[in-house]
Amino acid sequence: MQSELVLQVVVNGILLGGFYALVTLGLNLIFGVMDVTNFAHGDLIMLAAYFSYWAAELLGIDPVTFIPINAALMFLVGLAFYRAALKPVLKAPAYNQIALTFGFSIFLQSLALILWTSDMRQIEVPYASRVLQLGPVSVGLGKLIAFLIAFGFTLGFLVFLSRTKLGGAMRSVSQDPMAASLMGIDVDRVYLLTSGIASLLAGVAGSLVTLNLYINPFIGGELTLKAFGVVILGGMGSYLGMIVASMVLGLAEAFVGAFVPQGGSLAPGIAFAVIVAVLALRPKGLFGR
C-alpha cells in the first residue's frame, strides 16, 4: 500500500513538473538570449489565462482548442512588450531592467483587478475532473492533458532551437551579439522574435492553467516565483537544467503535500528550501555555466 502511494505521488510530481517546465521556458528564453530578467513573465501567463477564461465563458471555446489563438494573441503582446519596454533598456544596468519588468508586472496585475476584479475564476471543463485508472495509479485527465501539451511544446521548442535557422540565430546572439551582428544576423529582429516566442509560450501555459487551477490577478506572481526557482536551481540559461529542476520542484511539492501534515500549504516553502540546499552545494545551479 505504501509503495502504491509513493508511486502515485511520483506520478503527480512528474505531471506537475512538466507544467512547471513550460511555465519556465519563456522566462529562460528571454534571459538566455537577451540577458534580461523578466519579472512580468508570470503575469503574461495570467493575462493569457484570462483570455482563455473569457473565450470559454463568452464564446464556449474549450481551453485546449483555444491554445493556437491564445498563442497568437500573446505572440503579438510579446512583440509590443519588446518595442515598448524591453528594447529601451537592453543596454541599461540590470537594476533598470528589473525595475521596468517588475513595474510592468504590477501594471498587469492592476489592470486585471480593474477589468476582472479579484474574484477567483475557473472554467468548468467536464473532462478535467475525470480520473483515469492506470494500474495502481489514478491520473486526472485534465492534469494528464496539461502535461502532454506542456511536454510537447517544451520538446518542440528545444527541437526548434537546435534545428532551425532562427533557433541557430538565437543561440548565436545569446553567445555573442556583436559577433552575430558581424556575421549578418539582425540582432534586433532576433530579440523581437525572442520576446514574441516567449510570450507565445506564456499563452500556451495560460490556457493550461485554466484546466486545473483557479485564476485571479495575482496568480502570475506565484508562477513567476516558481519559474525563477526552477531557473536558478537548474542554472540560468540551461534548458536541460530547467527540465531537471522542474521535475525536482514538482516532486518536492508532491511529496511534501502527501506526507507532511498540512503539506499543501507548506509545499511551496519546502520546495524552495530544496533549492537553497542545492545552491549551497552548487551556487550556479545543477547545470549552470
Write out the DSSP string of 109-136.
HHHHHHHH-S--B----GGGG-EEEETT
CA distance 265 to 281: 27
98-116 burial, b at 16+ Cβ within 10 Å, e below that, comes to eebbeebbeebbeebeeee
pLDDT averaged over every residue in the chain: 88
pLDDT attached to residue 92? 81
Structure confidence by residue, pLDDT tens digits, 218-261: 999 889 988 888 888 887 778 888 898 899 889 888 888 887 77
Query: Distance between alpha carbon 204 and the CA centroid of its chain, in Å?
Result: 9
Q: Which of 54, 56, 48 is nearest to 81 (CA)?
A: 48
pLDDT attached to residue 268? 66
Q: Which pLDDT band, with edges at 50, 70 and 90, does 132 fall under?
A: confident
Q: Which pLDDT band, with edges at 50, 70 and 90, does 271 fall under?
A: low
* Cell of residue 54, nine digits: 473569457
CA distance 42 to 220: 4
Q: Which pLDDT band, with edges at 50, 70 and 90, does 126 fall under?
A: confident
pLDDT attached to residue 254? 87
The predicted model gives 138-167 an average pLDDT of: 92
Q: Outline where the chain has alpha helix (H).
A: 2-34, 41-59, 67-81, 94-116, 141-163, 165-175, 177-182, 187-212, 219-234, 239-259, 263-281
Q: Which of 111, 74, 16, 32 is nearest to 203 (CA)?
A: 74
pTM: 0.92
Domain boundaries, the chain: 2-281
